[in-house]
Every structure is written in structure tokens, then in C-alpha cells.
Structure 1
Amino acid sequence: MTTTAIVTLAAVLLIVLGVSVITRPRNTSTVDFYLAGQRVGIVTNSWAICGDYLSAASFLGVAAAVYVSGLDGAWYAVGFAAGFLPVLLLVAAPLRRFGEFSLADFLGRRLNSDRVRISSVAMVQLVILCYLVPQSVGGGITWDLLVGHGVFGLSPYTTGVLLSTAVIAVIVAFGGMRGTTWNQAVQFLLLFLALVWLAIVVTSEGFRYGDAVEALSQGPLANPEGSALVQETNYIQPEQTAVFGEPGARYGRLGQIALVVTLGLGTAGLPHVMNRYFTSPTGRAARTTTVWVLVLVGMFYALAVMLGTAARDIIPGAVADHPWLEELTVNGILRVPEHALPVLGRIYGDEAGLGLVAAAALIAAMSTVAGLLLASAATWGHDVYERHINPRATQRQAVWAGRLTTLIAAAAAAALAIALSPEAFTPAMPSLVATMVTWAFAVAGSALTPVVVLAIWWRRTTAAGGIAGMLTGGALAVAMFLGASFMEPSALRELFAAPTLLAAPVAFVVIIVVSLKTQAPDSADASWVLMHGTAADRQAERLAALTVKDRRRRRAR
């Protein structure tokens, strides 16, 4: 462990802990703990959403996917960035206008059903679990590379998992949404600045993206397999070898479409991202926030794709001048693709550069874990504890229930990440972390996105239809990507590995068919006005409701 690594890591931890202390909630209400009082500004919230969304899969995984499979790896960047288009056009403003604590709460109230709320809680927890594990794995991998030593006899990987998860659990448990919001905003800025710094140094040394892609495409694309390089299969034109700058190195035509659809639809069903929209003061602010997010994530992923290409182009020629690269490479190609950006940082910035990039990767994982833990706390603490276990809970009791469930979720995530060590997933391609996160997007896009979109835009959506669609889409997605692991490479396997292209339409159809055969909730019209009516309509609706309540009170007297 170098002095630089210690200083870098200590600085990162001091920053995030300091922000938590400064911005901790002064009140103990659930609105303050879960929603930051619904007073988060547009710019701050857009940075926080980016910090929540741009996980280890984005920082490490996208560059790694491009490094391994060239153009096919860029589909991850396209899918991740495109995911906010459906959010902008279909979800953000109506979701905020309706106003709740979580996705499960929104669906339960919109469809007027506790069964829907409980089913949503189960599906949300499944998505969170699928997302938490790769983030914790990313934290362990980064600690291993940054520090290289464990504590108390633990391995470096295990130490990284436990330390990163513990720090974030404390931040979330005692900082709530307000502290987490500011932490994620600061963490996004640090993450983005690390990418900008890398982009500046590689281009100042003569790297040009177009020239690099052309040069890398002159020969076949090969990657390490054991102690040798093996040429990648071309899944579009099997008679030819795969090349860096052409599609087919990882996916066939169907697989590319399936991956982008899975990632694009999954965003609208991610609980830790969608919950952030409830913190905006108005529906218009939620929509404007999404526009900012689209711009920021577009810039981020463009840099990630460029730097993944830069790593592939630069690292082979750097081995002669940097002997330490020999242990990490096979004939100049990295054994672990997720090391692409940290290695670039060390090449151009020595230990300080490695410390900066590796610390950025660590806070990427920590920032997303924070959002996931807060979403988990909201579903268990608010949707289950307050509504079903102890409906008469005081605000203080409800907040402490959220804090306790945060710590429990963090412990479970750390245990799973340690049990599912990276060695168990070594064959995963093109990137371990990005591949694992795809599972979360698949479940979210297949189970939650269809019912959220229809609940917002179709008045006839019913509780029975919502439950049937969630269960069908979720079960089909899980069955398909589990089945893909037992299949030989083929177009069908590519579809099963990114199942939302099939599972989401099936879920939509099931929701519509079942809803047409069952009774819509009596509150459907009022909910529609609340989500879509003009400002005057919504004001009139509120006045009417207040009038009715006032009459009932007078009669009661």
C-alpha cells in the first residue's frame, strides 16, 4: 500500500463523511428522512441522480466492455444513456405529481390495493438485490487494485467489500435522503472529473479516437484465455474474424437490439433512481431534472467509450516502459478488463493517477449502494413497517425502522458479495460488473416498468392486472437469463441473456388483458387528474377534496 493510495482513500472517505455530517436532517420526520423534505433543487438532484445511476458498472464496466469487444461494448453506453428518454417522456413528471415515498407506494395507492404494494415491495427488493451485489463486487475489486492488502486477516477483496458497504450504510442510516443526496452529487462530480482528467491527458499525448479505432480494426480482435490470446468469434458473419470497430464481436443483430431494449426500459423501473423524483418540489422540476441528467450521462458515457478505446490502443505499447504491466496483461492485453481505466491512470499519473481513478471507481460503487440502501429502507420501513406492521408508529419510530432496515440490507449485500467472489464469475464477458448489472435492468424493465407506465397512462389498469403483469414479467426475465447460462452461443441465447425484449411485451399484454376483465379502482379518474391535469385542474381537485372533508367534519359534529 503506497502513501498516495492511503491519502487518496482517506480524502474520499473524509469528504463523504463530512458532507453527511453537514447535511444530516435536523428533523426526524419520514418526509425528511426518505424525501429530503421534497425540496431538492434541479441541479443538485440531477447531479445526485447521476451519482445514483453511474455505478461501478458505468465507470468500470462500460470502459471494460469497450476494451474487450470494441463496438459491441458501446451498446452498454447506448442502453444506459437511452434509459432516461422513457423516463423523461413517460414517467418523471406524472410520478412526481402523484407524490409518494417509493415506487411500491405509488403503485399501491394508484391501484388502490395493499396486495399491489406488497407485490411491488417483493419485486423492488429483487431488483435491489440484483443491483447491490455487483456494486459491492466492484468496491472489492477496486480496493484490491488500489490498496492490495486486507485487514484483520481478510483478503483485500473482502476488506474492500466490507469497508465500502459499512461506510455507506452509516451515511444512509444517519444522513437519510438529504445527506445521501449531497453525497451523491459530490461523488458524481469527483467521478466525472476523474474521467475528464483521463480524457485530457490521453488526448494531450496524441490519442485520437477515430485513428485508434481504425488502427485497432486492422487485425482480428483477441482477448486473454489463460496464458494465451484467443480470437473472438464474429456473431454476425461467422466466416470472418471479429474486429474492434465493427459489430459482431460479442452479439449478433438480435442480441444488440435485446441488450439496448433491456437497458433502455430497465431505467424506468429502477427503484433507487425513480425514488429520487419524489424529492423534486414539482412535476416540472422533475422533468427539467431529467433533461439535465440526459445531458450529463451522455457526456459521461461518451468519455467512457473513448477511454475504453484508448486503453486498448495505448496499453500494449506501454508494457515495455512500465514493467508492472506484465503481471496484469497477456501479450499487452489486460487479464481483467475492469482494470482498463485505473491502469490508464497509473500510466499517465503514476501512483497519484492510479489513486485518483481507483478512488473514483470506489465512490461510484459506494454512491449507487447508498441509493439502493435508501430505496430498500423506504420499501421496508415505510411500505411495510408503517403501513402494515405498526400503522400507529410515531415519526421517530418510523425513521428508526428505516435506519435499521438500511443496516440489515447492507449486511446482506456484503455477505452476498463476499460469497459470490469474482472468481466465480471469471468467464462473464464482456465485463463482469456490467453483465451482472444487466440482470437488475432485466428484472426492472420486465416487471416494474410495464405496470408503472400503464398505471400512469392507462386509466383502466387494475390491481389484478398490475400483480399479474409484475409476476409474469419478473418470473419470465429471471427464468430466461438463468436459462441463458446453460445454452450454447446462438441468437436465442442472446435474447435470453437480455430478456426484456420479450418479457416486457408479455407483461404489457398480461396487464391489459387481466385489467379488461377486472374492475378499475374508483379513484382512477382522480388519479388521472392528479398526474396529468393542468395546474388549474389539480388545484380544483384539491379544493374539491378539501370541501368534501370539511362537510364530513361538520356532519360529524
Structure 2
Amino acid sequence: MTSTAVVTLAAVLIIVLGVSFISRPRGPSTVDFYLAGQRVGVMTNSWAICGDYLSAASFLGVAAAVYVSGLDGAWYAVGFAAGFVPVLLLIAAPLRRFGEFSLADFLGRRMDSDPVRLASVGVVQLVILAYLVPQSVGGGITWELLVGQGLLGLSPYATGVLLSTAVVAVVVAFGGMRGTTWNQAVQFLLLFAALVWLAVVVTADGFRYGEAVQSLSEAPLANPTLGADGQEWALTEETNHMHPGEPALFGEPGARYGPLGQVALVVTLGLGTAGLPHVMNRYFTSPTGKAARTTTVWVLVLIGAFYSMAIMLGTAARDIIPEAVTGRPWLQELTVNGVLHTPEHALPVLGRIYGEQTGLGLIAAAALIAAMSTVAGLLLASAATWGHDVYERHINPRATQRQAVWAGRITTLLGAALAAGLAIALRPEAFAPAMPSLVATMVTWAFAVAGSALTPVLVLAIWWHRTTAAGSLAGLLTGAALSVSMFMTAGLITTDWLRELLAAPTLVVAPITVAVVVLVSLRTRTPDGVQAHWVRMHGTAADRRAERMARLTRGGVDAR
């Protein structure tokens, strides 16, 4: 453990805990604890959403996926970024205008149905758990590389998992949405700055993206695999899934997915974004629907820049690391013929090459920040779902505000413990290199459930007034059951195109979910008060005309 690593980690923890203490909620109000009083400004919320969304899967996983599979890895960045387009066009503003605590609360009230609310809670918790585990894995991988030592007899990996998850659990439990919002905003700015630094120094050293892709594509793409003894690593050429029999190349599609698999992955990630509870819950903190929409525009700009740099740096790592091995014994231990055993080490290794221990500390701390920031959002979404949608409404309807907040805090700590336990039970090396990036691939499972179950029901509830409680319930259960069963059986399939489709099932399951919701809704009764809900989400035609006229009038006055 170097002094630089200790100082870097200490600085990160001090910043996180300090921001949480300063911005902690002053009273026991559930609106303040879960929604920060619904007074979060546009820029602050856009930074916080980016901090919430740009997880270890984004910071470590996208660069790792590009590093190990070239162009096919870039589809993760495309899907992650494209997901905010449907959020901007279809969800952000109506969701905020309706104004509840969580996605489960929104669907329960919109459908006037406790079964829908409870089914939504179940699906939300499944998504949260599937998203939490890879973030904890990312924290463990980063600690293992940065520090390399365990505490209290634990392995370095287990220590990283427990430490990163425990710190965030405490931050969320006692900082609430207000403390989490400011933490995520600050963490995003630090994360973005670290990525910009690395992009600048790599470019200044002469790296050029186009030239690197062309150079890397001159030889077949090969990655390390463990031998039969489970100890010795060897380089194995990747199979070309687009053109069987031909070598896979870094700059061409096919190193990881066939044509159907690439489309399925992008659709799963894109639709899944709109159903992620920890991201969508942030829109309830905006003061107005217009602010929610403007926030999404800024998010699209910021994450577009982020993912562009992640793709570039994943390529840079593949191009630069083989030449940097000479004279660096520490790097030789991490590679086979210049190729990293663990793709998630790509950015931290680049940081050490260009900044020695300080650079490694900066990039590794940014990776921990990414994992911790997303874990914070996930735990808060879990707390809102259990504390508000279950405890307040079903277990103890007469609960005081203080009791409800403490119920959320307790479920936060329990959720963190479960996620950490599952992450420790995993052995990341057992999955690599079967996946382009363990962290990114595991997160895909959360997107699959969200995009297959929550997103179709959410969009129909907002835009189709005929949606019923029975239809929503059937859609939630169908989407969740099919998506889980498909990606759980993907590993048993030997046919490439079918395995790729099952691993990213939203392309198939989302249309089925929509069909189920529509068919069941047409045969059942719409909930009471649907017209009032519709006006609450969208306003009347007269309202919209008056708003447009007011904007035109203000524009004319300003012009004069």
C-alpha cells in the first residue's frame, strides 16, 4: 500500500463524508429525506444524475469492453447514452408533474392499485440488486489493484467490496437525498475531471484514435484465457461472430456479438435506462416538469462527452500497454504478451503509466467514486421503495415521519449488506474472459429486467389512458419472469445468435410485455380518476396553448 494510495483514498472519503454531513436533512420529513424537498436545480440535478448513472460499469466497464473486444465493446457506450433519448421525449416531464416518491408509488397511484404497487416494488428491488452487485464488484477490483492488501484477514478484493459499500451505506442512511444529491454532483465532477486528465495526457503523448484503430486491426484480436489447470494464461484468438472462419479484428464488428446480438444489446441498454429506479427517482426531486426535461438535455450532453472519452481511452489502453510493458515488472505481472488479464484494469494502468502512483491513485479513486456514487443512488431508491411504498402504506400506515425515515435507513443498510455479500461470493477471474467486461455484462442484467418490465408499463401508463391495473400487473410479471428466465439460461445455449439474444432479451420481451398490457387492459376496467391523472401528467390542450402563448409573449417582450 503506497502513501499516495492512502492519501487519495482518505481524501475521497473525507470529501464524501464531509458533503453528506454539511447537506444532511435537518428534520425527519420523508419529502426531505427521499426527494431533497423537491428543490434540486437543473445543473445540480444533471450532475447528480450523471454521478448516479455513470457507474463502475461506465467508468471501468465501457473502456474494458472496448479494450477486450474493440468495436463491439463500443455498443455498451451507445446503449448507455441512447437510453436518455426516450427519457427526454416520453418520461421525464410527465413523471415529475405527477409527482410521487418512486416508480412503484407512481404506478400504484396511477393505477389506483396496491397489487400493482407491490409488484412494482418486487421488480424494482430485483433491478436494484442486479445493479448493486456489479458496483460492489467494481469497488473490490479497484481496491485490489490500487492498494493490493486486505484488512482484518480479508482478501484485497473483499476488503474493497466491504469498504466501498459500507461507506456509501452510511452516507445514504444519514444523508438522505439531499446529501446524496450533492455527493453525486461532486463525485461526477471529480470523475469527469479524472477522465479528461487521462484523455489529455494520452493525446499529448501522440495517441491518435483513428491511427490506433487501424494499427490494432492489422492483426487478429486475441485475449488471455486460463489453461486447463486454471493457473497458466495464454493468448487465444477471438471468434468472428459476423464472418465465421475469418479472424476477429479490433476495428470491425463481430469480435463479441453477431448482427442480432449487437441490436439486442443496444435495445436492452437503451430501453433499460428508462426503467432504472435510481435514475428515474431523481426526476421527482426537480421543482417542475420543465426543469426535469431541461435536466435531461444536459445529461445527454455530459454523458455523450463521457462515453466518447471512455471509448477513446479503451482503445488507447489496447494500443499503448503492450509497448509500455518493457521495463515495468509490475505491468508484466498483469499481462500476457502485453494484454491485461483483467480488462477493468485498463484505465488504472494507463493512469499509472502516465502519472506513476499519483496517476494510478487518481484513476482508481475515480473508479471507486463511480461505484460509490451509483451505489448511493441504488440504496436510496431501495430505501424509498421499502420505507415509503411498503412500510408506510402497508406495514405501519400510522407511522410518523421519523419512523418512516428510520425504516428507509434500516433497509438501506440491509440492502448494502446483501449486495456486498453477493459480490464477495463472486470470483471475477472465474468469469473473464467469457464476458467482454464482467462489470458491464452484469449491469446488463439489471437493464434487461428494467427494459423488459418497468419501461413498457411506465410508458403505457403515461401515454395510453386505457391502461388498467390488471394490464399493468400482468405486464410487470410477464416482463420480469421472461427476462430473468432468458438471461439465466443464456449460458446453457451453444448457438451464438440465440445465446446473444437471450443474454440481452429486451428486444424480444418488451414487445411481448406491451402486447400483454394492451390485451389485458382492453378486457378490464380502467381505474377511477384516470382523466384527472391524465391532466396532472400532461395538462389540457388549453393549458398547453396558454403555456405556448405565454412563452411567445415573453419572447416578444424580450425582443423589444
Measured against the shorter chain, the TM-score band is over 0.9
Instruction: Name the structure 2 match of 1:501.
Output: 507
Instruction: Name the structure 1 match of 2:450.
Output: 444
Instruction: Name the structure 2 match of 1:144.
Output: 144
Instruction: Name the structure 1 match of 2:551.
Output: none
Which sections of structure 1, spanning at least 5 residues, go unmatched?
541-557
Instruction: Name the structure 1 match of 2:282.
Output: 276
Instruction: Name the structure 1 match of 2:306.
Output: 300
Instruction: Name the structure 1 match of 2:393.
Output: 387
Deviation at 1:423, TM superposition (A): 3.5
* AA in 2 matched with 1:178: R
Q: Tell me the number of residue pairs that the alignment of Structure 1 and Structure 2 aligns.
A: 540
Instruction: Identify the match of residue 471 of structure 2 among 460, 465, 469.
Output: 465
Helix, strand or coil for the counterpart of 1:228? strand
Instruction: Name the structure 2 match of 1:229.
Output: 235
Alpha carbons of structure 1 residues 173 and 64: separation in structure 2 relative to 1, 3 Å: same
Instruction: Identify the match of residue 265 of structure 2 among 247, 259, 267.
Output: 259
Instruction: Name the structure 1 match of 2:426.
Output: 420
* AA in 2 matched with 1:183: N
Instruction: Name the structure 1 match of 2:321.
Output: 315
1:39 and 1:280 in contact (8 A); partners too: yes
1:36 and 1:176 in contact (8 A); partners too: yes
Helix, strand or coil for the counterpart of 1:269? coil
CA distance in 2, matches of 1:345, 1:254: 36
1:137 and 1:433 in contact (8 A); partners too: yes
Helix, strand or coil for the counterpart of 2:274? helix
1:529 and 1:537 in contact (8 A); partners too: no
CA distance in 2, matches of 1:216, 1:223: 13
Deviation at 1:378, TM superposition (A): 0.3
Instruction: Name the structure 2 match of 1:515.
Output: 521
1:428 and 1:435 in contact (8 A); partners too: no
CA distance in 1, matches of 2:140, 2:134: 10
2:225 and 2:234 in contact (8 A); partners too: yes
CA distance in 2, matches of 1:54, 1:26: 29
Instruction: Identify the match of residue 348 of structure 1 among 343, 350, 354.
Output: 354
Instruction: Name the structure 1 match of 2:175.
Output: 175
* AA in 1 matched with 2:194: A
The TM-score normalised by the length of structure 1 is 0.96
2:224 and 2:433 in contact (8 A); partners too: no
CA distance in 2, matches of 1:142, 1:434: 15
Instruction: Identify the match of residue 239 of structure 1 among 217, 240, 245.
Output: 245
RMSD of equivalent CA atoms: 1.3
Q: Are 1:87 and 2:87 counterparts?
A: yes
CA distance in 2, matches of 1:418, 1:325: 25
Instruction: Name the structure 2 match of 1:210.
Output: 210
* AA in 1 matched with 2:113: S
Deviation at 1:228, TM superposition (A): 1.6
Q: Are 1:289 and 2:295 counterparts?
A: yes
Instruction: Identify the match of residue 337 of structure 1 among 336, 339, 343.
Output: 343
Which deviates further from its counterpart, 481-490 or 117-126? 481-490
Write out per-residue CA displacement over residues 223-274 of structure 1, whole angstroms, 9 at most, x where no aligned residue.
1113221111110111211100000111010000000000000001100000
CA distance in 1, matches of 2:432, 2:327: 29
1:135 and 1:365 in contact (8 A); partners too: yes
Runs of 4+ in 1 over 4 A off after TM superposition: 534-538
2:225 and 2:433 in contact (8 A); partners too: no
CA distance in 2, matches of 1:366, 1:83: 22
Deviation at 1:537, TM superposition (A): 4.3
CA distance in 2, matches of 1:143, 1:337: 15
Write out per-residue CA displacement over residues 315-334 of structure 1, whole angstroms, 9 at most, x where no aligned residue.
00001132211100000000
Alpha carbons of structure 1 residues 288 and 534: separation in structure 2 relative to 1, 3 Å: farther
Helix, strand or coil for the counterpart of 1:223? strand
Deviation at 1:41, TM superposition (A): 0.2
Write out per-residue CA displacement over residues 348-396 of structure 1, whole angstroms, 9 at most, x where no aligned residue.
0000000000010011000000000000000000000000111111111
Deviation at 1:153, TM superposition (A): 0.6
1:137 and 1:421 in contact (8 A); partners too: no
Alpha carbons of structure 1 residues 404 and 536: separation in structure 2 relative to 1, 3 Å: farther
CA distance in 1, matches of 2:337, 2:255: 20
Deviation at 1:489, TM superposition (A): 4.3
Helix, strand or coil for the counterpart of 2:492? coil
Instruction: Name the structure 1 match of 2:162.
Output: 162
What fraction of aligned residue pairs are identical, expressed as a percent? 80
Deviation at 1:26, TM superposition (A): 1.1
Instruction: Name the structure 1 match of 2:555.
Output: none
CA distance in 1, matches of 2:321, 2:423: 30
CA distance in 2, matches of 1:57, 1:535: 42
The TM-score normalised by the length of structure 2 is 0.95
Instruction: Name the structure 2 match of 1:431.
Output: 437
1:134 and 1:433 in contact (8 A); partners too: yes
Instruction: Name the structure 2 match of 1:56.
Output: 56
2:71 and 2:253 in contact (8 A); partners too: yes
CA distance in 2, matches of 1:479, 1:169: 30
Deviation at 1:428, TM superposition (A): 3.4
Instruction: Name the structure 2 match of 1:22.
Output: 22
* AA in 2 matched with 1:369: V
Which sections of structure 2, spanning at least 5 residues, go unmatched?
227-232, 547-560
Deviation at 1:427, TM superposition (A): 4.2
* AA in 2 matched with 1:234: N
CA distance in 1, matches of 2:382, 2:106: 15
CA distance in 2, matches of 1:250, 1:422: 19
